[in-house]
Each structure stands twice: as C-alpha cells, then as structure tokens.
Structure 1
Amino acid sequence: MLGTILSYSAQTGDGIISGADGQRYAFRSADWRSEVEPLSGRKVDFIGTDGIAQQVYAVAAAPMEKNKLVACLLAFFLGTFGIHKFYLGYNAAGLIMLLVFLFGFIALGIPSVVIGLIALIEGILYIVKSDEEFEAVYVRGKRAWF
C-alpha cells in the first residue's frame, strides 16, 4: 500500500504513516527498509495490517521543482539583489533583500554589505545540504531565512 509519513522521531524510532486507504499506521525504525531517512512528507510503500506498517520502503520522489545548485549560484552571484529568494518563491524576502541593498548605500553601504554576507551564508548553506534536506527545508518547509 502507498502512503505518506506524517511524523517520525529519530529518538524513539517511532513514526506514523497515512495510508492511501485513509487509515493511519504506526511503524518502528526496525521496519524501515530504505537507505534514506524516514522524513515527514516522504512517500512510502508498506504492508499495513491492524494499524501497523511493516516492510516500509521509501518511494522514489518526483524530481525537485527547485534545484539547489541553481539556488546556490544565484545566492553567490546575484544574492545581494535577492534573486535566489525569488527563485525559491520567497517574494517578500527577495524584495526585502533588494530594497535593503539598494537603499543601503544611503547608510554608508553597511546594510548592503550585511545583505551580501547573508546571501553568501545562504549560498553556502544551500550547497552543503543534501538534496533531500534542501527540499525538505527550503522547498516543502518554506524556510525563507537561513
């Protein structure tokens, strides 16, 4: 049966799956059969009996709609203008970065330098995260800053 992980605790090794039949199934880390981590929102295939999920496998995810390398390069080269924010769909954050950079020169350029450092740090954060973590945090999780 197909389903989606609703929650998972690495500390306890317990999780909950929402099955395609509308039921919820509990699973333990011992039932996890894939190499990737069980993350909330991950699509899975499992055998469900009496509210327990067994032999839980991650289903190959659809291609990411946002590429972390593109986001990283935009942050490095055009980040002071907030272009990487616009690419990830954070229009308000992108507009804030753009306006602070442009009007920052009025205050001796210090705000513009700070925006440049923020963009550099974000570019580094994007590239060091795995593809799954990048998607979970910045695409599905909608985390606009750091």
Structure 2
Amino acid sequence: MRGKVLSFSDATGQGLISGDDGQRYSFSRADLMGGARSVAAGMAVDFEGSEGVAVSVYVIKSGIPDKNKWVAALLTFFFGIWGVHKFYLGKTNAGIIMLACGTIGWFLILPGLAVAFISFIELIIYLFKSEQQFHEDYVAGDKSWF
C-alpha cells in the first residue's frame, strides 16, 4: 500500500503514516527498509499495513531529487546576498526580496548589510541542522527565513 509520512521522531524512532486507504499506521525505525534510517514528514512511502501498524516501509523515490543542505550552504556562502539559495530551495518570494536588497539595496547601504547578515546566519543554521531537520523545515516545510 502507498501512503505519506505524517511524522517521525529521530529521538524515539517512532512515526505515523497516512495510508491511501484513509487509515493511519504507526511504524518504528526497525520497519524502515532499503537502508533508510530516517524519514521526513511528507515523504511518500510504500508499506504493508495491518491492524494500524506499518511494516516493511520503503521510501518511494520521486523523479525529482531532494534539495541538499550542503548545496544550499555553498550557495548561501558564495551567492547569499543575492538569494540564490532561496531560489534553490523553492522559496521564490524570499529570493526576490534578497535579490532586490542585495543588488539595488546597496545604494541605501542598510538593506545590503541586512541581507549579508541574514545570509551569514542562514549559512550557520544550514550547517548545524541535521539532514532530517533541514528537510522538514526548508524542503517539505514552508519555512523561508531562519
């Protein structure tokens, strides 16, 4: 059966899947197959479910690769004041704001300094977040800033 991960806690190793049949299934890290050690909310999965428990949970690879936190960090380091990392993560509005402030904003000095500071803070955050937390916040989630 196919479904979508609703939640997963790395600390407890427990999660919840919403199946295509409308039921919810609990699962644990031991049920993850194919070498997966963790999943993020919103990931599509294939599993066997019975009595509210999912076993043999496989992550379904979509044709589109996930965004990588290291690529986002490098883009932030080299092109952060222009918001290139925001466009990479699909946060277009935030990217446009940073692009405007990072180009014409330097005429007023303060907007340019603000986006440089924001880029530096985001670089540090990207580097210290776990892969799962990065995915939950910036790829699957709707977080655009910090």
Shorter-chain TM-score range: 0.7 to 0.9
Q: Deviations over 1:90-122 (max 9, x none)?
A: 222112112223333333x23211210101111
CA contact (8 A) 1:46 1:53 kept: no
How large is the Cα RMSD of the aligned pairs? 3.0
Q: Secondary structure at the match of 1:57?
A: strand
Aligned AA (1:139): V
1 CA distance for matches of 2:65 and 2:142? 14
Give me the identity figure in percent: 39
Name the structure 1 match of 2:53: 53
Aligned to 1:96: 97
* Structure 1 unaligned residues grouped into runs of 5+: none
Give the whole-Å Cα distance in 1 for the aligned partners of 2:11 and 2:77.
36
Equivalent residue, structure 1, for 2:2: 2
CA separation of 1:37 and 1:116: change in aligned 2, threshold 3 A: same
SS in structure 2 at match of 1:84 = helix
**Matched residue, 1:41:** 42
Alignment CA distance shift 1:93-1:54 (3 Å): closer
Q: What residue in structure 2 maps to residue 141 of structure 1? A: 141
> Is it true that 1:112 corresponds to 2:143 in the alignment?
no
Indicate how the Cα distance of structure 1 residues 102 and 47 shifts in structure 2: closer, same or farther if over 3 A, else same: closer
Counterparts in 2 of 1:24 and 1:133: CA distance versus 1, 3 Å: same
Return the TM-score normalized by structure 2: 0.72
Residue 64 of structure 1: CA displacement? 3.1
Q: TM-score, normalised by structure 1?
A: 0.72
Q: How many residue pairs were aligned?
A: 142
What SS does the aligned partner of 1:17 have? strand
In structure 1, how many angstroms separate the alpha carbons of the residues matched to 2:47 and 2:106? 57
Counterparts in 2 of 1:37 and 1:101: CA distance versus 1, 3 Å: same
CA distance in 1 between counterparts of 2:129 and 2:26 reads 27
Runs (5+) with no aligned partner, structure 2: none
Partner Cα distance (1:105, 1:25) in 2: 52
**What's the offset of the Cα at 1:5?**
2.1
Larger Rg: 1
